[in-house]
Amino acid sequence: MLRKRSSVIVCSAFLFITWNAILIFVLWGRPPSEQEAGGGRGNIAKDMIRMISAFETELEAQRKILLQIKSHRSLWSQQNDGGLNGQSEAEDPSQAVIPVLVIACNRVTVKRCLDKLIEYRPSAELFPIVVSQDCGHTDTANVISSYGDQVTHIKQPDLSDISVRPDHKKFQGYYKISRHYRWALNQIFHSFSYSSVIIVEDDLEVAPDFFEYFRALYPVLKSDPTLWCVSAWNDNGREGYVDPGKASVLYRTDFFPGLGWMLLKDLWDELEPKWPASFWDDWMRQPDQRKDRSCIRPEISRTLTFGRRGVSLGQFYDKYLRFIRLNSEYVPFTKLDLSYLEQTKYNDMFEKEVYGAPLVRAEELTGGKLTGPGPFRVQYSSPDSFKTLARNLGVMDDLKSGVPRAGYRGVVSFLSRGKRIFIAPPVGWTKYDPSWS
């Protein structure tokens, strides 16, 4: 049904262009009137030049219309037909159109990101790629344009500097990024009228099952009000800290990971009116935005960052990010039972696993003195004790509004010396303390 309706739309547009062309040629070729003849051949030549110019302008305008129709025909077909194959999105979420928004600026290496997205994309119609470019960088724009109709290239129109207080001048880049995100997401949800989006930045490479991962978790996100995003990223996903035999295992996390993540239009409608002027990702991690909601993250990341240079000046990159393990095993997530991620089921399982693990001292872990397969638990009771444990065990030690990276209910899970380790608060944990930062 989709292909048939798409063909009708495209053919109609082609006929419209052809009709305009024929009309112009007919007018161009008609005999001149006596008044026109009296005006001399010079006037006729000028009229012909104007006619040719108008013809070229009209053809270019119609060409752009045709490209837009072709780019968005799948969305229109769903709106008019109630979804692919006559089914609504609610009836068949596997056929929902989920665009990928690539946030770009001045990196020509966006090619690496786009090449992998296009290589692994199972369907151009179900996963249209929209590249939103800020900065006005010509070489980057040329790279994006080279992909033709494989992507839709939009450009953030406001390239001006943003007025900031004097001590924030060095953070101008963060202000521009936040402005760009707001504009780009408004384009996705309001101009293109999509109902969900996967956001990827121009310095991310995706895994072979990137699309399968998000396709499977789309209905989970839609149906569970205790979730507000799905992320492809594990902050502690370095080699040696993840279990390569658990590529299919997913977790709930209270920490907003970003770096390849999916959200729904309903969430954007909630966030957009209060969207911050800068530091949007840390703003997302504040209690007023998170509202006790969680994200889904994988054991092994489905994205890898290769952008050492950026507004953050390589913060964390050399120590952590460049060692993140990118999944290489294709996991058929859409065929798996993911019901264990439902909050009540997950919490019951989680509490038993974490607090059923024997409590040990960090020195026993780092000294290799533990016997048995694990898991094991080490305990913290203050921000300082958490940071000390995290540093000693090699995981990220920062807290945002009291939440540790990749943490859930205060617990950070990772692999150390081949054993599952939980850095956990005492039994009876109830809530985060935002002053722990």
Helical ranges in 330-398 per DSSP H: 343-355, 362-366, 383-393
* pLDDT on residue 317: 78
User: For the chain, what's the residue count?
Assistant: 437
* pLDDT on residue 310: 53
Q: Which long-range contacts (CB under 8 A, 24 or more apart) does 91-94 make?
A: 93/218, 93/219, 93/222, 94/215, 94/334
Instruction: Kindly give, in sequence order, each residue whose CB lies less than 8 Å from that of residue 311, ignoring residues fewer than 6 positions away.
Output: 171, 173, 174, 177
Q: Report the candidate in 203, 330, 199, 205 with the shortest Cα–Cα distance to residue 267.
A: 199
Both structure tokens of 75: 């969305």
* pLDDT on residue 123: 98
225-245 tens-digit pLDDT: 999 999 999 999 999 999 999
What span, in angstroms and rounded, lies between the C-alpha atoms of 3 and 8? Answer: 9
307-321 tens-digit pLDDT: 766 555 456 777 888
Q: Report the candidate in 184, 177, 62 with the shortest Cα–Cα distance to residue 129.
A: 184
* pLDDT on residue 92: 82
What span, in angstroms and rounded, lies between the C-alpha atoms of 429 and 411? Answer: 10
254 CB burial (10 A radius; 0-12, 13-18, 19+): buried
Give catalytic residue positions. 281
Torsion angle, alpha carbons of 104, 109, 113, 118, to 10: 100
pTM attached to this predicted model: 0.81
188-220 tens-digit pLDDT: 999 999 999 999 999 999 999 999 999 999 999
What span, in angstroms and rounded, lies between the C-alpha atoms of 50 and 44? Answer: 10
CB 75 within 8 A of CB 193: yes
350-374: burial string, b at 16+ Cβ within 10 Å, e else? beeebbebeebebeebeeeebeeeb
70 CB burial (10 A radius; 0-12, 13-18, 19+): middle
* pLDDT on residue 37: 47
142 CB burial (10 A radius; 0-12, 13-18, 19+): exposed
User: Average pLDDT of each block of 10 consecutive residues along the chain (437 residues)?
Assistant: 42 47 46 49 55 52 46 46 42 88 97 98 98 98 98 98 94 96 98 98 97 98 98 97 97 98 98 98 98 98 83 65 94 98 98 98 89 95 97 96 98 96 96 95
Q: Report the candidate in 343, 226, 220, 235 with the shortest Cα–Cα distance to residue 294.
A: 226
CB 188 within 8 A of CB 194: yes
Helical ranges in 356-431 per DSSP H: 362-366, 383-393
In which residue are the tokens 């101009």 written?
Answer: 191
* pLDDT on residue 269: 98
CB atoms within 10 A of CB 97: 21
